[in-house]
Amino acid sequence: MALLEQIEPLKQSGLAELRNASDTAALEQARVNFLGAHGKFTALMKQLGGLSKEERPAAGKAINNAKAELETALAERRRELELKASQPNEPTDFTLPGRRRLLGKLHPLTQVTEDIVRSFRKLGFVAADGPEVEDEYHCFDALNTPADHPARDTQDTFYIQHPASSIENPGSGPQPLGAPKSDEGGSTLNSQRLLRTHTSSVQIRVMEKQQPPVRIIVPGRVYRRDNADATHNPTFQQVEGLYVDRNVTVGDLKGTVEFVFKELMGSETRIRFRPHYFSYTEPSFEIDFSSAFTRKLGREWLELAGCGMVHPRVFEQVGYDPEIWTGWAFGFGIERIAMIRYGINDIRLFYENDVRFLKQF
């Protein structure tokens, strides 16, 4: 058969094989058969050499046109097969309900902290922050807490061992008013680093930087050398409050605490102040509260927080004139509030990250 006459039937059989390919493997086989290096059209091309000079261009052109048609058919079938492969085998039931994604939640301690901060914001307080790795000066000395105070004992506090060279020298930078110089008497006592045992250190940090009036609320992590049990953990969270202005009274303190705890624990919450001792406040009190939550725990009153009027010596340390400025401060543990609020009986549950526990809040 003349070469020219073979082209059309070969093209037709190639098109049929490509279009009927039932999957991508069959399609590839059809491509190899007709368009591959050893395929039928390559064989035809090889026969071109046997034609006369006059016949050759027309035959070459016809072969190329046929190949182009086959390439188009190949691409088209490939698209069809790929689309088919990407669709589900089973028909889709559009009436089925969607799959719900699990939404994450804030940790109960974060929720309680945010509630506390939100209540204080309503009264014009701003959130402040300070370092967890503190020095003894900000944690104790500046808070009128003497060197023989039990909180400073190595049995109660995590002290940090560090090479002397890594301590920034308190004598060489801007010096907090009244801060003892580190080179005095060669004592390193006051530059000793520790993990802060309470957020009260942030009172000092803020007052060093800012003139009164001050209205801050300080949520943050604190550390103590406690063994973990149902009510203790070596790290926990506190909230500190500090208010400094002219003519601040215990009445302001009590009114503020009452407002916030009614918001937190319900409107029928009552609070009472009991005289106590803290070295950085005078007078000092412990705050008890009573609500449906405490009665659920079988108690009318539960102790909740420490507070008092800022001690004049603390003001002197930060360079505030205690004849002009007055203020109150308080501090309490967030875990305790959360435990009472949610009826949780073991503090360690907060830190285990067990989703079965966490998703209840």
Instruction: Give the interface with ligand DAH as residue ranges (CB under 6 A).
Output: 198, 200, 240, 278, 281, 306-308, 329-331
User: Is residue 134 helix, strand or coil?
Assistant: strand
CB of 188 to ligand DAH, least distance (A): 25
CA distance 31 to 20: 12
Nearest CA among 345, 105, 354, 95 for reference residue 229: 345
Give the nearer residue to ligand DAH in terms of CB position, either 198 or 215: 198
| CB 225 within 8 Å of CB 171 | no
Residues 6+ apart with CB under 8 A from 281: 306, 307, 308, 309, 310, 311, 328, 329
φ, ψ of residue 168 to 5 degrees: the values are: -70, 140
CB of 136 to ligand DAH, least distance (A): 15
Element (H, E) at 277: strand 270-278
CA distance 240 to 50: 100
CB of 190 to ligand DAH, least distance (A): 19
CB of 308 to ligand DAH, least distance (A): 5
Give the nearer residue to ligand DAH in terms of CB position, either 104 or 150: 150
Give the nearer residue to ligand DAH in terms of CB position, either 179 or 329: 329
CB of 241 to ligand DAH, least distance (A): 7
Buried b (16+ CB within 10 A) or exposed e, 180-215: bebeeeeeeebbbbbbbbbbbbbbbbbbbeeebebb
CB of 167 to ligand DAH, least distance (A): 25
Give the nearer residue to ligand DAH in terms of CB position, either 203 or 291: 203
Give the nearer residue to ligand DAH in terms of CB position, either 200 or 294: 200
Nearest CA among 295, 65, 60, 315 for reference residue 212: 315
Nearest CA among 321, 331, 308 for reference residue 212: 321
CB of 222 to ligand DAH, least distance (A): 7
350: left (phi over 0), alpha (psi -120 to 50) or beta: alpha
Give the nearer residue to ligand DAH in terms of CB position, either 63 or 329: 329
Give the nearer residue to ligand DAH in terms of CB position, either 63 or 334: 334
